[in-house]
Structure 1
Amino acid sequence: MEHRNTGIENRKYPRIKKRLQFKIRTDDFVVVTESINLSCIGVSCQIKDKIPFMTRLKIVLRLPCSDEKKEDICVECYGVVVRVEKVLSKSRGITEYHIAIFFSEIEEEEREKLSDYIQENGNM
């Protein structure tokens, strides 16, 4: 359920629909992708190659700073793939995978960076 006109959901860890580039890393590969939505406990995205359910990933997110004079905020954590859906990309005409990643290992300081960003950008 969303709050009226804010774009923030009424849940313990609200999500925002935001397109942010980020890196997914495993022992075997590195993928740069773009978020579909983001919360303090996870992120969803679409990728070209399937990543198996419960795969452990290193996540590096760059959160753009609203103050152009300051640097972007970097958030690093580990996560696991908790959902994998095969989808047809209408714009590209190819099969891709919509995945959801749960942040299984994230320092409180990193979670606070995400929380602050979500609060500042939730009504966009």
Structure 2
Amino acid sequence: MESTEGSMSAEAAKNDTELPLYTLRRILAATNNFTEANKLGEGGFGPYYKGIFSENQEAAIKRLSKKSGQGHEEFMNELKLIAKLQHTNLVRLLGCCVEEKEMILIYEYMPNRSLDKLFLGK
């Protein structure tokens, strides 16, 4: 991906990695304002959307639902944990956005790949 507008400092994320920080404006453009047509699904903490950034890189964008009950502390814990985990069987965390009461995680996009299909043989 082309460079983002900044990065979350190690101090702010309380971990040893530099994580790209995306603006809400850039995410809105990539998801076409979180249009229903780009919705990939819904998890326990909110919906996932497919996003396409200006450099044609696809991403899966997890938008924390305001009704999820997950607050800023839980979001930051998830962010720190996922940022530290790198494995060939896990999707990579590409960046995040914490802006205007939005908490968003940006993952690599895996077309036609679903863990339930891999594990359950669907």
TM-score for the superposition, normalised by structure 1: 0.32
Higher strand share: 1
Higher helix share: 2
